[in-house]
Amino acid sequence: MTRTFPKEELYGLTSQFRRAADSIVLNIAEGSGCTSKKEFSQFLGYSIRSGFECIGCLDIALENKFINEEIIAMLDGLQKSLRK
């Protein structure tokens, strides 16, 4: 999705968004190696917070017209289906 962002955002919002999205997956992967549920839960918490960071990035992208409402609606539908 960030490939369509303006070039001048490469080291700004684009980078931040990509790192936050990567962090979701990487924290789940790292947490999978934990030996206790408490420790694994901690990594899931990091992933959830990175997800909220991605939402913030989406808000900024929408505000700056890098994406449109249709993209937000599609992502919202995907998120709802994943929560089931």
For residue 67, the model assigns a pLDDT of 95
Going by C-alpha positions, the residue among 3, 23, 17, 6 that lies closest to residue 64 is 6
Cα distance between residue 43 and residue 9, in whole Å: 29
Q: Is residue 1 part of a domain?
A: no
For residue 80, the model assigns a pLDDT of 79
Domain around 38: 8-83
Q: Is residue 60 part of a domain?
A: yes
Q: Is residue 68 part of a domain?
A: yes
pLDDT tens for residues 12-40?
999 999 999 999 999 999 999 999 999 99
Q: Is residue 30 part of a domain?
A: yes
For residue 84, the model assigns a pLDDT of 63
pLDDT tens for residues 41-83?
999 999 999 989 999 999 999 999 999 999 988 888 887 776 6
Q: Is residue 47 part of a domain?
A: yes
Question: Number of folded domains in the chain?
Answer: 1
Task: Give the burial class of 49: count Cβ atoms within 10 A of its Cβ; 0-12 exposed, 13-18 middle, 19 or more buried.
Answer: middle
3 state SS of 10: coil
Element holding 45 (H helix, E strand): helix 37-63
